[in-house]
Each structure stands twice: as structure tokens, then as C-alpha cells.
Structure 1
């Protein structure tokens, strides 16, 4: 990997995103709007808002970054941009790292804005430090980016890329513990939830919600989410081809 090439790739992606206000709105404003709506949905039950709201601070970055990354990468695959880039000295690792860095920069803004609004305007009550919430949110955003890069290799159109969301994201939302404790599910569903990364994202958020200090479970959750993100980035790099079949 070459740092200059990685930074050049990140700069190119950021420049493209800057000229797409709808994508910026999706990344930054939509999660905040949904949190505000949730706040008023649970207006009479603040404890429920604290629990679900903290979990959604981890889920939103993953979902939005998955959508944006999968569609943006698919456009470059189908337009031949990636193929042309890979005929240059740019390596696969440089390309993947550049994408991760660019979308990670947006993730910092997205997670920071959503976390700030939840804590200081919606009075989300957490026992731990807001920085620990932000760390989980950023790792989730990187995970969504990695998953989007990987999935884009198997879609032939933007519509197909969106279709992967019910298959890749919705089951994780249902099984992550957001609606019911994972240990109360049917055994087969509990086993499935134990291998899905979003389960550990939600658990990490709940550790911050309940505990003032970092726990062993929190660090376990962080490591697992990071490992999934790195592994999927590697798989995403493996799907890049220098020639279109």
C-alpha cells in the first residue's frame, strides 16, 4: 500500500460526494431526523428511548454507510472507472483503504452530529462516556462501508444493490437484541445472532448505557466489530478485478 495513492483515492471520493447534496443529507440529516421522531414516539417512556436510542446510534451509521458505499462503488464498477484505475499503479489495497478513509471521514461527521443531538438536545441518558458511544458508531460505519464494498461485487445495478439490504441488514436488526434480549430468543435464532456483527454493536452501546466504566464485554464487542470490518474490507479487495469479465 502507498499512502499518497490511498489519500488521492480518498480525496477523489470525497470530492464526488461533496457535489451530491442528497447523499450528504442521507448520511448526516436522516439519522438525526429519525432520532428526533423516536424521541417523540417514546415521549412517555424515556427509559425505552434511552435503550433504543443508544442502540440506534450504532445501527444508523452501519445502514446508511452500507447503502451509500454499495451504490457508489457499483457505479464505479459498472462505469469502468475501477477497471481503469486498476490499470494504473494503484493497488487494490490503496483503493479499498481510500474508500474506507473517505467514507470514514463522513462517518466521523455523521456519528458526531447524531451523538451530539441525542445527548445534548434529546437528553439521552447514558452512564458511560459519550466518546465510547462514538467509538462504536464509527466502527459500525466502517463495518457498513466494508459490507457495501463487498456486496457491490454481486450486484449488476443500483436497484440490485439496494435489494441486498433486506438480506444483509434487516435480519441483523431483528436479531441484534434491539426488540428483545437475545438470550430469550429461540435457540437457533440466538445462535444466529451470536455470529452477526450488529449484535455486538448493540451490546457495546448497552454497555455504555449501563456502566460508567469500560467493561470486558465492551472491549470484546469493539474487537469483534473491528475484526468483521477488517475481514470484509479484505473480501472487498478480493472482489476487485483489473479486467471486466
Structure 2
């Protein structure tokens, strides 16, 4: 009986210790905390003033409402991707990751710990952005604010997972940053924010259909148009969550011990 439960208990302890360590590191870095929490909110503030005096046709929502609700998912995704990829790569270059790989800590426990720690930060980030957008700038959506918050957090977690995966293929922090236009750029252009996905050329629609951010934006648009939950929204959230889980698993599979 003791042997049966020893391995899972040890795994949970390693995972928990990793999560706590990363959270403590974040707390000790005020500049990173400021970027995590404030950048999406400041960009949404800028977007509000860009669209503040734009007149919408009668019966149509404000342009800020239409664009801003999508940005509540896109901005946390971008920021968390960048922060996570750089932070993980810094662990490599500092030798911390190399030392951790010599301990009983499994690859999945390691990445799960990072993912959980940054997901906590992502929840705070998305919560602040939603608070400012809905209560300060009076963003309007047919659905619940809590659904918008849920989707925004899940988008940020997706950014964390993809950032961890990208860091596995980078050898320097600069290379980690270079993955941003490759991974984030196409998703931003094809997610439906700039042009509705149905109006894209067919070959671009096919590409858009395999990019997770497309489903995140679709879920937010569902909340903006419907007062309750919809089957399409839950399907979109399931796809985003599946992408995040697969990215985390691939990150663990590609994690290798590097020697100087």
C-alpha cells in the first residue's frame, strides 16, 4: 500500500514545490509583475480612447465593444506567451533547469508547475483587464462577464502552454522572442478580429480552422451576442483547452537535458 501511493505523493510534492518556487520568483520581480498585470489593461485603455468618439450605426454595438471583447482574449494570450517563453529560457541559461533535471522531478511535473504558476498570474491579469473594461469603460456584452473572464483566463493559459512549448526549441532568450511572430502572428491575423473568418479565402479559412486563437475569439463573440451559454461556445472552449493540454504534453516530451 505504501509503495502504491509513494510515487503519486512524491510527484504532487515536486509539482507543488515547483509551482511555489516560480510564484516566489515572480513576486520578487516587480517589473515582471507590472508587465503581467498592467500591459493588457493599458492596451485596452488605449483601444478605448481610439474608439471613444467613433459613431456606430443605430442598433449596432460600439466599435470598442466589438473589438475590445476579442482583445480581452488576445492580449493575455500574447503577453503570457512572451513572458513564459522568456522565463523558461532564462531557467535554461541560468542552469536552474539543468539542476532540476537531475532531481526526481519529472518533465511533466516541471512544466505543470510552471504552467500552474503562470496560470495564477494569468487569472489576475485577465481579471484586472475585465474589471477595467466592463466597470470603468462600460463594455457591453449580451452574456455574463464571468464567462468573458473564464475565456480570457483560458486564452492566457493557452499562451502559457505555447510559450513553454516554444522555449523547448529555443537556445537563447532572443530565440524565444523570435518564436512570437511565427506562432502568434498568423493566429492574430486569421482569428477573425481583422476580417471575419467566413470572408477569408478558402485556403486561409483552412489554416484558421487549425489555430487555437480562432476558437478563443469565436467563444468571446458567442458571449458578446448571446445572453446564455451556447453549444458552440463550449465546443470552442474545449478545443482551446485541448490545444493547451497538447502543447504542455509536447513541451514535456521535447524537454531535454542540455550539457555545456
TM > 0.5 fold call:
yes
Matched, 1:115 2:115: no
Q: How much does 1:242 deviate? A: 3.5
Pick one of 189, 194, 197 that aligns with 1:182. Answer: 197
Residue 98 of structure 1 corresponds to 113
**How far apart, in 1, do the equivalents of 2:93 and 2:130 lie?**
35
Taking the aligned partners of 1:137 and 1:99, their CA distance within structure 2 comes to: 19
**Match of 1:164?**
179
- Name the SS of the counterpart of 1:213 in structure 2: coil
Match of 1:87 in 2: 102
- The one of 189, 209, 213 aligned to 1:194: 209
**Which has the larger Rg?**
2
What is the TM-score with the length of structure 2 in the denominator? Answer: 0.91
Partner residue in 2 for 1:129: 144
Structure 2: distance between partners of 1:176 and 1:207: 14
Q: How many residues of Structure 1 are paired with residues of Structure 2 in the alignment?
A: 245
Match of 2:139, SS state, is: coil
Q: Does 1:19 align with 2:34?
A: no
Deviation at 1:243, TM superposition (A): 4.5
Residue 241 of structure 1 and its aligned partner are, at CA, apart by 2.0
Aligned with residue 224 of structure 2, among 187, 209, 212? 209
Q: Deviations over 1:4-23 (max 9, x none)?
A: 21111011111111111111
| Unmatched segments (≥5 aa) in structure 1 | none
The Cα RMSD (Å) is: 1.2
Q: Are the counterparts in 2 of residues 83 and 241 from structure 1 also a CA contact under 8 Å?
A: no
Matching residue within 11, 23, 37 for 1:28:
37
Q: Establish whether residue 76 from structure 1 lines up as the match of residue 91 from structure 2.
A: yes
Q: How many angstroms apart in 1 are the aligned matches of 2:259 and 2:62?
A: 52
Equivalent in the alignment of 1:221: 236
